[in-house]
Amino acid sequence: MTILSQSRYVAVDYEDITLNADAVFTLSAAKISPGGGQPDREAASIYFDVGSVRVRMDGGTPSASSGDLYPASTRLIMLEKENLKNLKFFRASASSSPVLRVHYYERRVQR
């Protein structure tokens, strides 16, 4: 259970992102802003599966040696749409293909 499940956020979407190349990956723009009258996502819970990942939260470019290191089996909670757009990921080791398990959340107004 995460802090998001205890708040005004409701899980509404999901994706797996496999970091299978020496390239920078981002969250899917269509998941953050789905359009079609659906509200933008305001939070994400990202579980790092299989291998370690380098993360930049400021829009900068991570590399194998630059960025915050998240080992396998850890989780990152990110709030606010702009922060979701700024996240960038890079696998920490060329010998692994980490998978990001991403749940997206909408903020619901309490009544």
In what side-by-side order are the strands of the sheet with 99-107? 9-18, 99-107, 43-49, 74-79
pLDDT at residue 33, rounded to an integer:
96
Encode pLDDT of 59-82 as tens digits: 999 999 999 999 999 999 999 999
Segment (H or E) for 84: helix 81-86
- Is residue 64 within 8 Å of 34, Cβ to Cβ? no
Domain boundaries, the chain: 3-107
CATH code of 3-107, in short, is 2.60.120.10
pLDDT at residue 111, rounded to an integer:
55
Reading the block at residue 9, the tokens are 């956020």
- Is residue 18 within 8 Å of 99, Cβ to Cβ? yes
Positive or negative, the CA dihedral 91, 94, 96, 97 is: positive
- pTM, to two decimals: 0.90
Encode pLDDT of 8-62 as tens digits: 889 999 999 999 989 999 999 999 999 999 999 999 999 999 999 999 999 999 9
